Amino acid sequence: MEKEFTQIEGVDYGEIFSPMVRFASIRLFLAMVAHLDLELFQMDIKTTFLNVSFEEEIYMDQPIDFVLKGQEDKVYHLKRSIYGLQQSSKSWYLRFNEAMTSFDLSMVS
């Protein structure tokens, strides 16, 4: 069975998205919190990427230990993200950005 990928090598195959924050921004934010005597709450979001829905269709091969007998040639159609998927961070960022802009907040680069 031949696989038909929609990604094109050299165009979007190596596309990786990972927004980063500058340490100077974090220091400034913490300094403002201390100066204005504000309360700061921290939240651990280890499972954030698992709560992402994709706009594009994503398929994956069955994991080696979970191949269904008699259905070895089938693939999974992902409706949600899984750990290790490169598209997860970009999809989460787009969803987060949409939520922030709905509150009239904007991200400055």
- Chain segment 42-69, per-residue pLDDT in tens: 876 777 777 777 777 888 888 888 888 8
31 pLDDT above the threshold of 90: yes
Identify whether 80 is part of a domain: yes
1 pLDDT above the threshold of 50: no
Q: How many CA atoms lie within 13 A of 95 on its CB side?
A: 14
Identify whether 72 is part of a domain: yes
Q: Which of these, 15, 10, 8, lies nearest to 85 by C-alpha position? A: 15
Domain hosting residue 71, numbered range:
41-102
Question: Residue 37 — pLDDT band, cuts 50, 70, 90?
Answer: very high
Quickly tell me which residue has 């400055």 as its tokens. 108
Question: Residue 39 — pLDDT band, cuts 50, 70, 90?
Answer: very high
Q: How many CA atoms lie within 13 A of 74 on its CB side?
A: 9
Identify whether 24 is part of a domain: no
Identify whether 66 is part of a domain: yes
